[in-house]
Chain A
Amino acid sequence: DAGVTQSPTHLIKTRGQQVTLRCSPKSGHDTVSWYQQALGQGPQFIFQYYEEEERQRGNFPDRFSGHQFPNYSSELNVNALLLGDSALYLCASSLLDNEQFFGPGTRLTVL
């Protein structure tokens, strides 16, 4: 049974560019949440998707957007990248209102 998968593993971009990160949830899970984890910090909630709708959003600017597909997979898009966007981006999947399980993350470096 595959767990949560994310792609790519690592990514290097320059300021001003746009990036798309992808997540496939654990089999049987229908809810995907995205978190940003800066070095030495705990994960910060970006948003959560359920039934292809954004269910809740954290304190992130509109440059951060997402999508959930009918097969429950999800994308995180970040526009106009800033140096401060460099972080580990974590996807977590769950059955609605149950415990969240994290994928391996995507390490984004913005130069």
Chain B
Amino acid sequence: QKEVEQNSGPLSVPEGAIASLNCTYSDRGSQSFFWYRQYSGKSPELIMFIYSNGDKEDGRFTAQLNKASQYVSLLIRDSQPSDSATYLCAVNAHFGNEKLTFGTGTRLTIIP
């Protein structure tokens, strides 16, 4: 079992709709969770982080964490073509940032 699993996609969503990206992790002791966006040929860019169960909203982005189910998700509201990218889920065993364990990423395409 991979430590961090994501559906590789591609996930296609119409412009203006909600994109839902999912991630599961195997280490029940994981404490901090991150979503990075990576455009083709570029480096990952931090979008959001979440430490506590529940929802965390930042603009059009909402991160959701359920530690009991070992599940973290990212919702993108009012999807724009510029949101087309690969989204990487990363997990850390501790609060703070030592080793980040990444999933393989989900490729998202927003259809105009």
* A40 touching B96, Cβ below 8 Å: no
Instruction: Give the Cβ gap from A1 to chain B, nearest Cβ, in Å.
Output: 16
Instruction: Give the Cβ gap from B89 to chain A, nearest Cβ, in Å.
Output: 8
Contact pattern, B 85-97, Cβ under 8 Å of A = 1, otherwise 0: 0001010001111
Instruction: Give the Cβ gap from A94 to chain B, nearest Cβ, in Å.
Output: 5
Contact pattern, B 68-90, Cβ under 8 Å of A = 1, otherwise 0: 00000000000000000000101
Cα distance A9–B103 when bound, in Å?
Answer: 25
Contact pattern, A 74-94, Cβ under 8 Å of B = 1, otherwise 0: 000000000000001010101
* B101 touching A97, Cβ below 8 Å: no
Q: Is B25 an interface residue (CB 8 A)?
A: no
Residue of A nearest to B98 (CB): A56
Contact pattern, A 22-62, Cβ under 8 Å of B = 1, otherwise 0: 00000000010101000011111100100000011010000
Which range contains the number of A residues in contact with the other chain? Answer: 20 to 34
* A100 touching B102, Cβ below 8 Å: no
Q: Is B62 an interface residue (CB 8 A)?
A: no
* B45 touching A44, Cβ below 8 Å: no
Residue of B nearest to A102 (CB): B43
* Max count, chain A CB within 10 A of own CB: residue among B36, B97, B101: B97
Cα distance A103–B42 when bound, in Å?
Answer: 9
Cα distance A104–B43 when bound, in Å?
Answer: 5
Q: Is A105 an interface residue (CB 8 A)?
A: yes
13 A/B residue pairs, CB under 8 Å, sorted by A = A33-B97, A42-B90, A42-B104, A43-B44, A43-B88, A48-B99, A88-B43, A94-B97, A97-B98, A99-B46, A102-B44, A102-B46, A104-B43
Q: Which residues of chain B have a CB within 8 Å of any CB of chain A?
A: 4, 34, 36, 42-46, 49, 88, 90, 94-105
With A97-B97, A102-B45 already in contact, 6 other A-B pairs whose C-beta atoms are closer than 8 Å: A33-B100, A45-B100, A90-B43, A97-B94, A98-B96, A104-B42
